[in-house]
Structure 1
Amino acid sequence: MDNKTYIPDDFIADVASYLPAHLTMDGFIASCRTGLRRAVRVNTLKMSLQEFEHQAAQLNWHIEPIPWCEQGYWLTRSAEEEANLPIGNTALHLSGCIYVQEASSMLPPMALATCLVPGEHVLDMAAAPGSKTSQLAALMDNQGVLIANELSSSRLKTLAATLKRMGVANCALSHFDGQVFGDYMYESFDHILLDAPCSGEGTVRKDPDALKNWSLASNLDIAEVQKTLIHSAFMALKPGGTLVYSTCTLTPVENQQICEHLLETFSEHVEIVPLNTLFPDANKAATAQGYLHVWPQLYDSEGFFIAKFKKTGSVEHLQQKTKKGQFPFSSGSKKDRQAFETSIKQQFGIKSLPGTLMSRDKELWLFPQHMETLQEKIKYSRIGIKVATTHKNGVKLEHEFATCLGHLATNNVFELDPAQAKAYFQGQDIRLDPPGPAQGEVVLTLCGAPVGLGKWQKAKIKNKLPRDLVLNGQLITWV
């Protein structure tokens, strides 16, 4: 930011009480008033790191690896391109190949990644807008089950849209206060990420008003919420499982003291997993306990806090709860399943899908593998991806069938050039010269990654992009 960034005197006085001796207050304030470097994460569900580096070179983007995340890069574009084309409207972003994500926010999933095993059950307890959820899904390679929970209805919609764009297929979304998981999903998860709601003190470099309503009383109020959430998370964790607790704030009230609450409450069943060797130079941010307390000036990033714990034994819970109501999905009719499977095999050469096909009314959904042990414990907003709708003449494929499974297609795939991609995302049909070679539906790709569906129609491909995803403004190209 700049000197207009609001930093209240009471906040500075509070920081002075816990600022490490090897750091200076002047250095902290100077960092808070300096703009952030842009960082992006490559979505390996859609693009390899090698291909991203090639594409970045072609675009004359300057990239620099982020040391704690193999998929992360600091990114610099020319002033001319920045002025003419928002990065969110570039081909790499629209295709879901990259996610614009602050560098230090990539740390919590990386702390969890060191112990991930294919096929496990993972919970992201406070998931929106989806940066860490989509990062976890990529680290899991779309295998196992990832439950992503979000309390806010509007943020849940944003989360769902993000996961579709990023090609995430192994996720179920829930819409609850995170306190429910300990009661309804007792010892159900192999790993849990609790990126807790917090006062956001570390975000001042991107939001000059982040500290506008700061007060110690507010810190204390938020800490009480954090205590209930970390307690719930620990109860939902399987014995032998791992819990990562993180915030984008700096105060020990919301960080170290929350960890101490966990350690005191479950003293016989929990141990700290030190993070001081998570990446080169991690020791610069490491506390005596083995947590990472990332100050803005340490790595030229946002402020962050990350702690990791292992549950060493089962904790008795005498007030477990059970969901009421009937589960709305079934295995569906054999006729509908066969119609869908025949359709994707004939049109796209897809012989099998990674998951379980389920039915609700006329909808066909693809659930993640190993979902059956979790699917009736709570009510979900959605499970997996909606792949098709059945009707009397067959099936209609859905947009997310393409964005999440289009990479499996071997037939009827069409790579969009920049002009065609611009037309597609603005809701226009794609003109063909010469006419298209086939009939029926086609998976459209951009930067080699699937972005949606079209339908062959002689001299054009009919646009099937959902109306709520149509974009306006400058896209893909810039002059």
Structure 2
Amino acid sequence: MLPNLFLERIKKMLSSDEYDKFLASYEIERKHGLRFNSLKADYDNFKDKNIDNIQLTEVPWAKNGYFYENEDRPGKSPYHEAGVYYIQEPSAMAPAAYLDAKPGDYVLDLCSAPGGKSTQIASTMNNTGLLISNEINTKRCKILSENIERMGIANAIVTNESPEKLTKVFPVFFDKIMVDAPCSGEGMFKKNLNATDEWSLENVQICSERQDMILDCAAQMLAPGGRIVFSTCTFAPEENEGSIYRFLKRHNDFRIVDIDKYNGMSHGNLDYYKTLITNSSIISEDDYDFYKTEIQKTIRLWPHLLKGEGHFVAVLEQTNEKLQSKPNYQRNNKNFGNKNNNLESYYNFFNDTICKLPLDGKLELFKDQLYLVPNGVPSLSGIKLLRRGLHLGTFLKNRFEPSHALALFLSSNLVKNSYDIDYDLAKKFIAGETFPCDLKKGWYLITVNGYSLGWGKVAGKTMKNHYPKGLRKNI
């Protein structure tokens, strides 16, 4: 089922023995993975609550990453809906791990949807600093925003823009930038059989040209001494070694960071690119001798060498000493501004329900929606936004209704009233059912075995269900 031209190209890249092993890997069922959300849980916290007896083994290159068995279905669990973990292909966990985002960093995930890398980055930032998660495709951006919400992330702003437009807003701004670039997707042929029908050499070329533009935009937005991690899920050298080679030729103030590789990972190879490009004279002998060693610092993940699908990773570091001493470099702390200061009903809810909200930020009212916007955000006027930080809730006439995002951020120790339900009742709650209770009236954070799941509100002897109707499902 693999395209013949694709196989011919792979055959030129690999030895005959490796090529046979590469083909054989497509006869083996792909590996499945999940990553625990350290904002809520890790394996030690989870293992005693593992109701479905999911069998887990560690992914070596990703903290909190685990393989699970093919027969397990962790996506059909209340824990998944509570944001305890994120279902993610194991190889796809490597790029964000190499980004090495820290608490307090300013980070951009430039091509974010559906959110695997953004949520992985956020888990290492501990809801501090600023994460801009961007996706140019509107439909995919909505999925990204939902995943940011589900994982209880408070320091993220979700934008729906082109890289070129973001460059005008965030020049020389970010400490770390993740570029999981749009690509021909050859590494996902096993996961997505339809991808083989969409593959063509022309698309490889289109993707490589688009990657040049995206990387140039990322370079303009990177702060002095910052890091860019470039990744793809394809084998095509035009989009991997070629994209990095062309970038370094355009930007001599960047270098490739020589990072540790895990067992099964192999280095990038400039020969792949030189062998397959139509015009081999595009690489001079001097360039080849110099960049061959540099490109070996990049990483390839081959499906016949490790438990995961095809990926490529390069870690780039900005080295311009003049830029590092730029005298007028600063981050714009201008706030969006509040259009309505009538927040009494919010403060009434807060005083009645919340013990504390351990976050820095500024309140912003957008129409009838209230957000807590992370500090350090420049004016985003004219930028398409799907999420402006932590969505706190909605003003409805004379009352304030808390958001699902706020519930998923909170934990029982941060609220005055919480109600823990068991695994089976949690399934019914997610489906929209109410249940009887004998509690004082008011808002309650509903948790499942300690993990926040949503809001309930006691009226009479009933816990009314405030799980969002658009998210309700039978699991």
1:82-121 mapped onto 2 (5 Å cutoff)? 82=72, 86-113=73-100, 116-121=101-106
The CA distance in 2 between the partners of 1:369 and 1:224, in whole Å, is 35
Decide which of 425, 429, 432 is 1:420's aligned counterpart. 425
Aligned residues: 440
Structure 1 counterpart SS, 2:13: coil
- Corresponding residue for 2:460? 458
- Corresponding residue for 2:472? 470
1:152 deviates by 1.1
1:357-396 mapped onto 2 (5 Å cutoff)? 357-371=363-377, 373=378, 375-376=380-381, 378-391=383-396, 393-396=398-401
Decide which of 323, 329, 351 is 1:345's aligned counterpart. 351
Over 3 Å counting, the alpha-carbon distance change for 1:352 and 1:37 in structure 2 is closer
Q: 2:395·2:401 contact (CA, 8 Å) conserved in 1?
A: yes
State the AA in 1 paired with 2:45: E
1:32-431 mapped onto 2 (5 Å cutoff)? 32-56=26-50, 59-76=52-69, 79=71, 82=72, 86-113=73-100, 116-267=101-252, 269-275=253-259, 277-278=260-261, 280-281=262-263, 284-285=266-267, 288=293, 289-313=296-320, 329-331=336-338, 335-336=342-343, 339-350=345-356, 353-371=359-377, 373=378, 375-376=380-381, 378-391=383-396, 393-407=398-412, 409-431=414-436
Structure 2 counterpart SS, 1:220: helix
The CA distance in 2 between the partners of 1:361 and 1:283, in whole Å, is 50
1:102 deviates by 0.4
State the AA in 2 paired with 1:256: E
State the AA in 2 paired with 1:12: L
State the AA in 2 paired with 1:41: R
State the AA in 1 paired with 2:191: K
Residues 232-257 of structure 1 show CA distances to partners (whole Å, capped at 9, x for unaligned) of 11111112110000000011110011
1:263 deviates by 0.3
Over 3 Å counting, the alpha-carbon distance change for 1:176 and 1:410 in structure 2 is closer
1:392 deviates by 5.5
Q: 2:374·2:389 contact (CA, 8 Å) conserved in 1?
A: yes
Residues 401-456 of structure 1 show CA distances to partners (whole Å, capped at 9, x for unaligned) of 11123455242111121232122111111223xx12x2210111123221111101
Over 3 Å counting, the alpha-carbon distance change for 1:291 and 1:351 in structure 2 is closer
Worse overlay, 417-426 or 187-196: 417-426
Q: 2:265·2:300 contact (CA, 8 Å) conserved in 1?
A: no
The CA distance in 1 between the partners of 2:42 and 2:465, in whole Å, is 28
Structure 2 length-normalised TM: 0.87
State the AA in 2 paired with 1:14: R
State the AA in 1 paired with 2:449: C
1:176 deviates by 1.5
- Corresponding residue for 2:280? none
- Corresponding residue for 2:330? none
The CA distance in 2 between the partners of 1:129 and 1:351, in whole Å, is 28
- Corresponding residue for 2:13? 18
Aligned-residue identity in percent:
29
Over 3 Å counting, the alpha-carbon distance change for 1:401 and 1:263 in structure 2 is same
- Corresponding residue for 1:3? none
Decide which of 6, 9, 31 is 2:4's aligned counterpart. 9
The CA RMSD measured in Å over matched residues stands at 2.4
Q: 2:369·2:391 contact (CA, 8 Å) conserved in 1?
A: yes
Structure 1 counterpart SS, 2:163: coil
Residue ranges of structure 1 left out of the alignment (5+ in a row):
1-5, 317-326
The CA distance in 1 between the partners of 2:461 and 2:215, in whole Å, is 58
The CA distance in 2 between the partners of 1:22 and 1:192, in whole Å, is 38
Residues 132-166 of structure 1 show CA distances to partners (whole Å, capped at 9, x for unaligned) of 11111111111111111111111111111111111
The CA distance in 1 between the partners of 2:204 and 2:297, in whole Å, is 23
Structure 2 counterpart SS, 1:443: strand
The CA distance in 2 between the partners of 1:352 and 1:270, in whole Å, is 37
Q: 1:388·1:395 contact (CA, 8 Å) conserved in 2?
A: yes
Q: 1:415·1:448 contact (CA, 8 Å) conserved in 2?
A: yes
Structure 1 length-normalised TM: 0.86
Q: 1:104·1:303 contact (CA, 8 Å) conserved in 2?
A: yes
Residue ranges of structure 2 left out of the alignment (5+ in a row):
270-292, 325-333
Residues 313-371 of structure 1 show CA distances to partners (whole Å, capped at 9, x for unaligned) of 2679xxxxxxxxxx9942455551x5423422332322654322222233321112332
State the AA in 2 paired with 1:456: V
Q: 1:244·1:309 contact (CA, 8 Å) conserved in 2?
A: yes
1:377 deviates by 8.0
